[in-house]
Structure 1
Amino acid sequence: MQTIDLDPALHDRSLDLATAQVAAVRPADLTRPTPCAGWDLAALLAHMVGQNHGFATAIRGEAVDPAAFAPVAGAGLAEWIRSVENLRDARETPDPNAVLLPEISTTQRFPMSLVIAFHTLDSAVHAWDVAASLPHGPGRTWRPDPELAAVVLTSARQVPDGEQRTAPGAAFGPSLAVDDRADPWSEVLTQLGRRP
């Protein structure tokens, strides 16, 4: 995998963008469908919060198994903010060794810069998923700034495609054909099975 030298400020930017979208969710929105097949907005938020806690555990070098990334049922804005604080705290005191991400591989370890890049991708794409699910928000026109979109595209191109993307609970669908004229953010979405 290509090493990505990611400025932590871009990771923070992706978290802030996601927080703004989560903050826009109203209780009546939680049963709305999302771009993630089979997930309503409540399930998407549960997944996002679980991912934050799982990545925080991995970054600290604590014993990690896939259950650390489990969705947090009933998650809302307060739970999201706590998970973001947990993640940022973990980033300040990382394990000096490479990080194990059991959701990706049970044996391969990844350099911290790549782990943060993976999570930046996760946060930015799921921010779009939330925006696209809301009838009163920016919808499918939402996008991060060009700098963040370019970094996320580098990560998106490294996400393995294949049968795992059709498994129940998969956060990313099979990649779609990319239009030659697509801008970087549209390519991110199609790489991860979304229709811009």
Structure 2
Amino acid sequence: MEIRRLDRTAVLETVRLVQQANPGDWDLPTPCASWTLRDLMAHMVGQHYGFAAAASGGGDDLAAWQPGVLGDDPATTYRAAAWTAIDAFARQDSFTREFALPEISTTTRFPATIAIGFHFLDHVIHGWDLARTLGIPLDLDDEVTDAALTFALRVPDDARRLVPEPLFRPALPAAPGASSLDLALAALGRSPDWSAATLQ
């Protein structure tokens, strides 16, 4: 499956999950340390708009990457942001562009396939975060999760994961026979067994 189709599939799954959130869910803890569901959604909105800006040649501006303001209808706000990114990636000129992604590197520009791969991986993982937070299943097929594992294993497990608020935490051991999704989660420092109960 081509990377834009993979990304669209993962992002639309996050849209489906967010639509299941109830008004009382926005302060729930998530697998992202210290982030509530509202914090996570604000981050994801900001990422959609940041990547959309990068797809149009404007990714250098850090202002494009700020967490989004969710307002009174977070699900609708999120859906609009998600489609902004999907539509930006779908434009042919964006697919031949090199993306500026200042949160990853201020000196390197990334080919579109690699940049969209970052976005794809982020939203598979955050889709799992959403599903676990809300206590509902994540619905992604093996083709998507196998691709996410391929990307996850390319993320360096180095000192950059030890700084405050890293993009990903140090890798964790994977259980024998783990699924592709669980292997990707462990590679990026998330415990596949996470639940809100573990925080109590």
For 1:63 and 1:16, the matched residues in 2 are separated by: 23
CA 1:43–1:168: 2 relative to 1, 3 Å: farther
1:23-69 C-alpha deviation (Å, 9 max, x unpaired): 11112011110000010100000001000000111111125233321
Identify unmatched segments of 5+ residues in structure 1: none
Partner of 2:166: 170
1:112 partner amino acid: A
Preserved contact between residue 175 and residue 190 of structure 1 (Cα < 8 Å):
yes
Using the aligned pairs only, state the percent identity.
Answer: 37
Q: Does 2:118 match 1:118?
A: yes
1:115-171 C-alpha deviation (Å, 9 max, x unpaired): 111111111110110110114x23xxx352100001111111122323433444434
Return the TM-score normalized by structure 2.
Answer: 0.86
Q: Tell me by how many angstroms 1:94 deviates.
A: 1.0
CA RMSD of aligned residues (A): 1.9
Return the TM-score normalized by structure 1.
Answer: 0.87
For 1:22 and 1:171, the matched residues in 2 are separated by: 22
For 1:24 and 1:166, the matched residues in 2 are separated by: 34
Match of 2:55 among 48, 59, 64: 59
Preserved contact between residue 30 and residue 41 of structure 1 (Cα < 8 Å):
yes
- Following superposition of structure 1 onto structure 2, how do residues 22-171 of structure 1 map, counting pairs within 5 Å? 22-74=18-70, 76-91=74-89, 92=91, 93-94=93-94, 96-135=96-135, 137-138=136-137, 142=138, 144-171=140-167
Residues paired across the two proteins, number = 188
Moved segments of 4+, more than 6 Å: none
1:78 partner amino acid: T
For 1:71 and 1:132, the matched residues in 2 are separated by: 21
Identify unmatched segments of 5+ residues in structure 2: 193-200
